[in-house]
Structure 1
Amino acid sequence: MARPGRLGIGIIGAGKVGAVLGAALRGAEHAVVGVSAVSENSRERAETLLPGVPVLEIQDIVERSELVLLAVPDDVLGGLVEGLAKLGAWQPGQLVAHTSGRFGVGILQPIRAAGAIPLALHPAMTFTGMSLDLTRLQDCTFGVTADAAMLPIGQALVMEMGAEPVVIAEADRTIYHAALAHSSNHMATLVAQGSQLLREIGVEQPENMLGPLLRATLENALASGESALTGPVARGDAGTVAGHVEALREHDAGGSGDILSAYLAMARATALRAAKRGLLSGRQFSGIEAALDSEDTDARNADGPDTPGTTLEGN
C-alpha cells in the first residue's frame, strides 16, 4: 500500500535542479505525474532521472498536480506564475513550490487568489543534474520560506528528500541568497584564477596542488571561523603582500585585470576583518593597507591628485 500523504507532483523545468528534486520526491514514493522539458538536454535528463514520466505542456502539468514544483530561472519565475494565474490554471488547495534562492513566497502572490498554497524550497548546493546529486542531497540544507501554518509542509517535503530544512524569513531571502552566491560562486572564480596562474607557470595539474589546500582551508574555516585565518595578510606580512600585488600587476598588464582586482578586494576584506577581531595590530593593518594601496597610488599618480586612503574606522 502507498504511504499516506503521497502527492501527485508536476515538475516545471527539467533542468539540473528540477529533475534531481523530482527524482528525490519520487524516491519518497510521491508520484511524478508530468514534467516539462523543452531542450534536448532537459529531455535526456528527464528520461534518465524520471524514467516513465510523461513530458507534458505546462498547463497540463498544473492541471494534473497536487504539488507543482517550479524549477525555473529567477527571471522567468514571476512571469510564469502570473501568466498561469491569468489563464486560471492554479487550483484551490494546490501546493506550489519554487526552488529560487532569491525569492520567498511573495513572488507566488498570484496563486493565492485561486486558493493555492505557496512554498519556497531552495536547495543550498550546486547540481550536476546527474544521479550522484541524490546522494549529495543527504548532506544538503534547504532554505524554506512559507506562511507559518504551511511551514511544516515545506519542512516535511525537504526531509523526505533526505535534506535538512532551515527556515528563512521572507524579508531575509535576498541576503540569504547573496550569502550563498558570494561564498560558492566567488569561490569557484577564485579557484579558476589560482588554477590559471599555476598553469601559466608550468604546473600541469593545478587541481592536485590546490585540492588538498582548499579542502583543508574550507574544513578549518567551517569548524573554526576566522580564527583559522592564515597566510601573509593574517600574519601582517606586508612585504609579501606587496610582492604579490607587483607580480599580479605585471601579470594582468594588458589583460582583463580580474585576478589583481580580486586579490586586492579579498585581501582588503581579510585585513579589515582580521583587524576588527584583534588578529592584526593597528601597525600591521596599516602596513597591509599600504601594500595594497600601492596599486591605487600608481593609478593616482598617473591620473591626478591623491585621494584619501582607506582607514579602519571608515570601513
Structure 2
Amino acid sequence: MAAKVGPMATQRPRVVVVGSGRLGGALALSLAARRWPVRVLSRTEEGRRRAQALGLKPATPQDLAQARVALLCVPDKAVSEVAREQARTLGKGAALVHCAGALSLQALGAPRGRATGSFHPLCAVSDPRDSLAGHAVAISTRSRALKAVLQRMAKDLELSVLHVPEARRAAYHAGAVLSAGGAVALMATAVEAMEHAGVSADQALAALLPLMRSALRGMEARGLAGGLTGPVVRGDAPVVAAHLQALPEEVAPVYRLLSLQALRLAEPRLSPEARVALAKLLQVSPGRRRP
C-alpha cells in the first residue's frame, strides 16, 4: 500500500525546496509568487547566499517539521543521499519528491510512512528567474494524495502534465535533453559551419537565431513534417551533396544524421527517384524503416 502524505492542506501545503540552484530557485520563486508557503533549504553557504539574493526564505527546523512536501532540486547523483538525509529530518509523513528527469522513484528509496514522487519541469532553466509557465511537467507518484498536490502545483505554475512510465524515464529524459541542450549544441554546430564560410561566430548566431525561431513557429503551427524546410524535403540531392562536400569533417556527420531524420519525415512527399537519390547520398538503404 502506498504511503500517505499526512494531513495536507487541501489547497497549498507547506513546501521545502532542497537546493537553491537554477531549478530550485525557479520553483521556489514561482511557487512563492502563487502564494504557496515555501522555504528553501541550502546545503552549502554559497547556496544560502544565492537563496538570500533571490529573496527566498530559508527553512528553519520548525519549517522542516511542518513541511508536507520536500522538492529535491539537487544533482541526480545526490538524490538518494539527500533523500536519506531528509527522511531523518523532515516531519512525520512529509512527502519526498525529486525533480530529476531520468530517475525513477526508486532513487528515493522506500522511506517508511512517506509518499514519494517526481516533479520534473520541461523547461531549460538557465537562470532562477526564468518563468516556468507554459511548459510541461512530468509527474509520477503512487500516492493519490500526493498526486493531487503535484497536479495542483502544476496547475498553479501553468504547467501541462505528462505521465511517463517509470521504466522509460531515461528515454523520456533523453528526448527532453535533445530538444533543449541538444538544440543549443545544434546551434553551436550551425555556427561552426557558418564560420567555415567566413562568417564570424557573433554574426552567425545573430543571423541563425531568428531562423531557428521561424522553424519552431512552423513546427508549432503545422507539426513536424509540415514544418520541415530545406533541400531534403524538396528532394534536392545535388544541394545536399554540395553541403556534405563543403562542411568541415567534424560537422558533416551531424548534418548527415539530421538529414536522415529529415528524409524519414519528408519521405511521403518525395518522388521515388528523389528518395533513392537522397538515400544513396546519405548512405542508407531506400527501403529502410525505423524499428
TM-score, length of structure 1 as denominator length: 0.78
Larger Rg: 1
1:156 CA drift (Å): 0.5
Alignment check: 8 A CA contact 2:40 2:58 kept: yes
Alignment partners' CA distance in 1, 2:62 and 2:165: 32
Aligned to 1:147: 142
Residue 38 of structure 1 corresponds to which residue in structure 2?
44
Amino acid across the alignment from 1:292: L
Give structure 2 stretches of 5+ with no counterpart.
Answer: 1-8
Conserved? CA contact 1:35–1:61, under 8 Å: no
Quick one: percent identity of the two aligned structures?
24
For residue 282 of structure 2, give the secondary structure of its aligned residue in structure 1.
helix
The 1:285/1:148 distance shift into structure 2, 3 A limit, reads: farther
Deviation at 1:183, TM superposition (A): 1.8
- How much does 1:239 deviate? 0.6
For residues 230 and 39 of structure 1, do their structure 2 counterparts lie closer, same or farther at Cα, with a shift above 3 Å needed?
farther
Q: How does 1:170-181 map to 2 (within 5 A)?
A: 170-181=166-177
User: Residues 160-214 of structure 1, C-alpha deviation per residue, up to 9 Å, x if partnerless?
Assistant: 2333333333334333222211222221111111122224413452233112211
Equivalent position of 1:120 in the other structure? 118
What SS does the aligned partner of 1:127 have? coil
* Equivalent-residue separation in structure 2 for 1:193 and 1:269 (angstroms): 17
CA shift digits 1:222-281 (9 cap, x unpaired): 221212212111111111111111111xx23xxxx1x11111111112113322xx1223
Instruction: Report the counterpart of residue 58 of structure 2 in structure 1.
Output: 54
2:210 aligned residue = 212
Q: Distance in 1 between matches of 2:276 and 2:10?
A: 64
Partner of 1:69: 71
- Write 1 or 2 for the structure with the bigger share of helix: 1
Which residue in the other structure is 1:193 paired with?
A: 189
Letter in 1 for 2:78: V
Q: Comparing 154-163 with 42-51, which one deviates more in the overlay? A: 42-51
Cα distance, 1:60–1:108 mapped onto 2, change above 3 Å? farther
User: What TM-score comes out, normalization by structure 2 length?
Assistant: 0.84
Q: 1:290 aligns with which of 268, 280, 287?
A: 280
List runs of 5+ in structure 1 lacking aligned partners: 294-308
SS at match of 2:133: helix
Task: Say if 2:21 and 2:73, in contact at 8 Å, map to a contact too.
Answer: yes
Relative contact order, higher structure (CA 8 A, sep 6+): 2
Paired letter, 2:120: H
Matched AA of 2:36? H
Judging changes above 3 Å, is the alpha-carbon distance between structure 1 residues 311 and 20 closer, same or farther for their aligned structure 2 residues?
Answer: same
Deviation readout 1:8-39 (Å, 9 max, x if unpaired): 32221111000110112222223333421426
In the other structure, the counterpart of 1:312 is 287
1:202 aligns with 2:199: yes
Secondary structure of the equivalent of 1:139?
coil
